[in-house]
Amino acid sequence: MGCLPRLFESLRLQTDQSFEWVVADGASTDGTLEYLLSITCLDLKVIQGPDFGIYDALNKAIKQSKGEYYIVIGADDSFSPDAVEKFKSYIDSEVDMVAACIRTAGRLVRPGRGASWLYGQYEYVAGHAVGTLFRKSLHNKFGFYSRKFPIAADQLFIKTVCQGGANVCRADFEAGTFGDAGLSALDIAGTLCEFFRVQLLTERHYLPQVIIFIIRLIRHSLKLGK
């Protein structure tokens, strides 16, 4: 169950309570289901059953959700009290994504870190989870999260959507805190490899990606050797 109570508290304290919380639980046995079923003060929907990883579970949750927009949030993440209200204030008929700021590892991260050939999805967003609101109908045009990328399917989806002409609105507010205990933070080598694969699929020039990948692998190896 881990950090779920903290996440729940951040949802319970939202200044705008007009939202649905859809939880995809992969048949956990740690008391998560019992805890979720005890929650009665939120519009909560629980999808339970085995899945093929986080993005398979996420696809199931999106398909079961009722709203026109969604935000991804992990069990170890949390929202700022006015996150839902702030996200809604940026929505209009033309907006496909709202990219806000997030706090992670003790620092504030803003969307638009740099060019996508170097920074991938971070040209467009501060982070996939917590800080980005997506129009659900984007999946009708661009497909759902790929099961071929268990770590970087979010990067592939965001880059495909943004390069495909989605209207991204950058918002200058702090949406919440992104936990740094997920797979992408724990499996650095795997993350670097998947980032490289996605970059090859979404960028025009291969050689710079190969060079960047080698440099990042060397840096990671040097850190491990210390």
Residue 224 has which token pair?
């491990």
Tens of pLDDT, residue by residue over 9-66, are 999 999 999 999 999 987 777 788 889 989 999 999 999 887 888 999 999 999 999 9
Tens of pLDDT, residue by residue over 68-77, are 999 999 999 9
Tens of pLDDT, residue by residue over 140-188, are 999 999 999 999 999 999 999 999 999 999 999 999 999 976 555 568 8
Q: Which long-range contacts (CB under 8 A, 24 or more apart) does 9-14 make?
A: 9/78, 10/78, 10/79, 10/80, 10/81, 10/176, 11/42, 11/79, 12/41, 12/42, 13/81, 14/79, 14/81, 14/82, 14/83, 14/84, 14/85
**Which pLDDT belongs to residue 203?**
97
Helix (H) / strand (E) containing 165: none
What is the set of domains in the chain, with CATH numbers? 4-225 (3.90.550.10)
**Which pLDDT belongs to residue 12?**
97
**Which pLDDT belongs to residue 181?**
67
**Which pLDDT belongs to residue 102?**
98
Kindly state the average pLDDT of the residues 89-112: 96
Question: Do residues 96 and 26 touch, judged by C-beta distance below 8 A?
Answer: no
pTM above 0.85, yes or no: yes
Residue 160 has which token pair?
């495909």
Q: Which of 168, 166, 167, 163 is nearest to 202 (CA)?
A: 163
**Which pLDDT belongs to residue 215?**
96
**Which pLDDT belongs to residue 194?**
96
